[in-house]
């Protein structure tokens, strides 16, 4: 293999390595977001359950709907 061919191969190799590293970073970011999103959902559900106290809507929502419905 000539020096030029070796250089071309090495440049291509680095490109493939960089692509794999970038793919891994994106995957890790997506994977890490899932538990965070799930945690926020569960925390939000706990707050909603507390505010609604078993009712379909929390008390303050009725007032908000009466107040804001002309603007919606």
The model's pTM is 0.46
- Tell me the C-alpha distance between 47 and 37, whole Å: 15
Q: Where are the domains of the chain?
A: 24-72
Closest CA to 38 of 46, 49, 27: 46
Report whether 29 contacts 35 (CB < 8 A). Answer: no
- Tell me the C-alpha distance between 65 and 13, whole Å: 61
- List, in sequence order, every beta strand (DSSP E) within the chain: none
Model confidence pLDDT, tens digit, residues 17-58: 999 999 988 888 777 788 888 899 999 999 888 888 877 776
In this predicted structure, the answer to whether residue 59 has a pLDDT above a threshold of 80 is: no
Model confidence pLDDT, tens digit, residues 5-19: 889 999 999 999 999
Report whether 49 contacts 55 (CB < 8 A). Answer: no
């Amino acid at each position: 293999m000539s020096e030029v061919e070796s250089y071309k191969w090495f440049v291509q190799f680095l490109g493939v390595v960089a692509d794999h590293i970038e793919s891994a970073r994106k995957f890790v970011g997506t994977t890490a977001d899932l538990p965070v999103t799930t945690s926020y959902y569960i925390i939000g559900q706990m707050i909603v359950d507390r505010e609604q106290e078993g009712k379909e809507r929390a008390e303050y929502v009725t007032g908000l709907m009466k107040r804001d419905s002309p603007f919606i």
